[in-house]
Amino acid sequence: MTDEGGKAHEELKPIREWKGEAGVGVEKGPIRSVILSSEEYEKLWKELGLDRSPGAIEFSTEFAVVVTSRGSGIAFRLRDEGEGKLKVMSIATRDIRPGLRYAIAVISRQGWQVVNDTKL
């Protein structure tokens, strides 16, 4: 990728991602949140009707962004807005199957002060 001045930009990507379906009958959504603590994370996966955590997050050095959708194929796009601001966006393909899908992106805290208007 290049900017308007022709400078090359490093493509920003999450450290890791988890995707899946919420528990049967869970209709909570849409959710678009920044998760900053293990307590928030545990509350989230329980609200999604999951029996256990989708994966470990080291909140002292990482944070998570979660999105729910009735669509499938959820993908994240990360954009450096400058001055320590990170914009995390998501898109999903349409899905005719019933149910709620989730995606969780784990991102390093290093270099970021604000994510989607949430101060770290």
pLDDT of 43-79, one tens digit each? Answer: 999 999 999 999 999 999 999 999 998 888 899 999 9
Closest CA to 88 of 119, 117, 59: 117
Top-confidence residue, 29 or 67: 67
CB 76 within 8 A of CB 56: no
d(CA 56, CA 62): 10
Across the range 73-99, mean pLDDT stands at 91
Round the average pLDDT of the chain to a whole number and report it.
Answer: 88
The model's pTM: 0.85
